[in-house]
């Protein structure tokens, strides 16, 4: 599932292309009956044309289009969704579930293999966005606030990081990477973290997300940006999906456990189950073969 770095990359790409543009026509596939969450698909197709885009923002893993007339278009990509901006006359894309035509002849195409993505058109986005926790990169998440969030939770720290009501935007990739960078075992009870461990985790979250943004996200399976290009951060991960491979720091094999029904990847030596007062692990330190892969040109999505 695209997480904060991937969704933010798409937002940054779309904003200069879409600001001031107006929707002219909407098509929603009858094979995707759950794509439009609100209002009805018919009302969605009726109300969106003529609305002009004033801004494109992000809240957690949601893209938020600020439209004329006081409406908001919310987009969640879920597992396999992609929001593609295509010029007039571009070849068709695979698995397109909706097409939003614009007044310059370009289109926003919502492509989604598994049909889990969702769209909303609302006068007030708070019923959808109001329960999200603080944003990790905009100053809303401070070490003291993170301490408050963890101190009252007995659940594993990995589960807390995945809870969008506690912290908006993190998913499986960057929760694993942040916990490794902070030297914390994913099954540690959140309330057991010391003040210094929480401070390390806070810094690790910021460093991991910033590094992923610099790489335009991670493309392990379906994620592509608004132009259909893959990200590069999959070449820099330290533990995620590296089960059985040696840790870049200590050489120990990366292990995997289930936490809250999700696979969690960690280094048993760098992330002990008990308390550890070490420093932050390096973000993006990897052998030459993986460093060299970072300079390869990302593949375009199949047309």
Choice among 2, 5, 125, 136 that is catalytic: 2
Catalytic residue status for 61: yes
Locate the DSSP E strands across 10-140.
Answer: 23-28, 36-38, 53-59, 62-67, 71-76, 81-86, 96-102, 107-112, 118-122
Catalytic residue status for 3: yes
Choice among 51, 58, 61, 200 that is catalytic: 61
- The residues, ordered by sequence, that sit 6+ positions from 247 with a Cβ below 8 Å of its Cβ are 238, 239, 253, 254, 267, 269, 270
Choice among 256, 262, 269, 290 that is catalytic: 262
- Nearest in space to 134 (alpha carbons), one of 212, 225, 51, 206: 206
Catalytic residue status for 115: no
Catalytic residue status for 143: no
Q: How many CB atoms lie within 10 A of CB 165?
A: 11
**Could you identify the residue written with the tokens 């200069």?**
16
Long-range Cβ contact pairs of 291-295 (< 8 A, separation 24 or more): 291/235, 293/235, 294/215, 294/232, 294/235, 294/236
Kindly tell me the burial class for residue 16, based on how many C-beta atoms sit within 10 Å of its own C-beta (0-12, 13-18, 19 or more): exposed
Q: Please list the active-site residues.
A: 2-3, 61, 262
């Amino acid at each position: 599932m695209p997480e904060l770095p991937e969704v933010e990359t798409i937002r940054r790409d779309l904003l200069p292309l879409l600001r001031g543009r107006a929707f002219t026509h909407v098509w929603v596939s009858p094979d995707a009956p759950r794509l439009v969450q609100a209002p009805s698909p018919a009302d969605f197709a009726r109300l969106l044309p003529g609305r002009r885009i004033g801004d494109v923002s992000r809240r957690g893993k949601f893209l938020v289009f600020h439209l004329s007339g006081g409406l908001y278009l919310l987009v969640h990509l879920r597992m396999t969704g992609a929001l593609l901006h295509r010029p007039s006359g571009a070849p068709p894309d695979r698995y397109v579930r909706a097409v939003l035509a614009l007044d310059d002849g370009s289109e926003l195409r919502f492509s989604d293999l598994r049909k889990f993505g969702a769209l909303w058109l609302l006068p007030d986005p708070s019923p959808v966005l109001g329960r999200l926790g603080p944003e990790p990169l905009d100053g809303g998440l401070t070490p003291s606030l993170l301490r408050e969030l963890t101190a009252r939770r007995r659940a594993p720290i990995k589960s807390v990081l995945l809870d969008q009501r506690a912290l908006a935007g993190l998913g499986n990739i960057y929760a694993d990477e942040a916990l490794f960078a902070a030297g914390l075992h994913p099954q540690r009870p959140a309330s057991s973290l010391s003040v210094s461990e929480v401070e390390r985790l806070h810094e690790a979250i910021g460093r991991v997300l910033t590094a992923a943004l610099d790489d335009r996200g991670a493309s392990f399976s379906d994620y592509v940006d608004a132009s259909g290009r893959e990200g590069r951060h999959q070449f820099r991960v330290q533990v995620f999906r590296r089960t059985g491979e040696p840790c870049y720091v200590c050489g120990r094999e990366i292990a995997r456990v289930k936490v809250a029904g999700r696979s969690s990847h960690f280094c048993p030596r760098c992330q002990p189950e008990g308390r550890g007062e070490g420093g932050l692990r390096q973000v993006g330190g990897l052998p030459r073969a993986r460093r060299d892969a970072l300079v390869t040109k990302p593949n375009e999505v199949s047309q």
